[in-house]
Amino acid sequence: MKEDSKPYKWPSRTDSLGYMVNWAARLFAREMDEALRPFGLMSGQLPVIFALADGKTRSQRELVNLAAVEQSTMAKTLSRMERDGLIERKPDPNDRRSTTISLSPLMSVRLPEVAAAVAVINARSHTHLSEEEGERLLDLLHWAIKGLAERP
């Protein structure tokens, strides 16, 4: 990628939290996508996979709450994951509107490898951060999110 060859310059837009957070998120997604490609996965599916990693079934609504995305986003993501054989959906016997969702057997088997691949990228993001700095970053992000999420 020659176009990105200039190393680093940090102009004023890097003082904008919105810009930096967006940039970091895109880098994460890009690296995750690359690391997950061998498994036929993409970054947007990770919240679902880890929400189902304990082997239990969850409703679509539960997954929406866990992933903090809109219901329509989750619906489409789950459709693709079912299409690709990553999850299975069975009708909920207690509620005919709902389905119960679980990992496919194949995906369950591969879970440890997937978790390892994810851990590698997460470690990359912490290359220049000490353990305390990593925790501090998470904590500060928590507060920024809280400020954005509570509508005044």
Partner DNA sequence: GTCTTTTACATAGCAAGCCATGAAAGAAGA
Partner DNA sequence: TCTTCTTTCATGGCTTGCTATGTAAAAGAC
Give me the residues that bind its own copies (CB under 8 A), please.
3, 6, 8, 10-11, 13-29, 31-32, 43, 46-47, 50-51, 61, 64-66, 68-69, 71, 118, 121-122, 124-129, 133-134, 136-138, 140-150, 152
Could you say which of DNA, its own copies, none residue 10 binds, taking C-beta under 5 to 8 angstroms by partner kind? its own copies
| Interaction site with DNA (CB under 7 A) | 2-3, 22, 26, 29-30, 33-34, 42-45, 59-61, 64, 67, 69-73, 75-80, 92, 95-99
Q: Which residues contact 62 (CB under 8 A, 6 or more apart)?
A: 51
Q: How far is the CB of 20 from its own copies (least distance, A)?
A: 5
Residue closest to 66 by CA, chosen among 51, 76, 80, 78:
51
Residues 6+ apart with CB under 8 A from 20: 14
CB of 87 to its own copies, least distance (A): 18
**Of 111, 10, 114, 4, nearest in space to 55 by CA:** 111
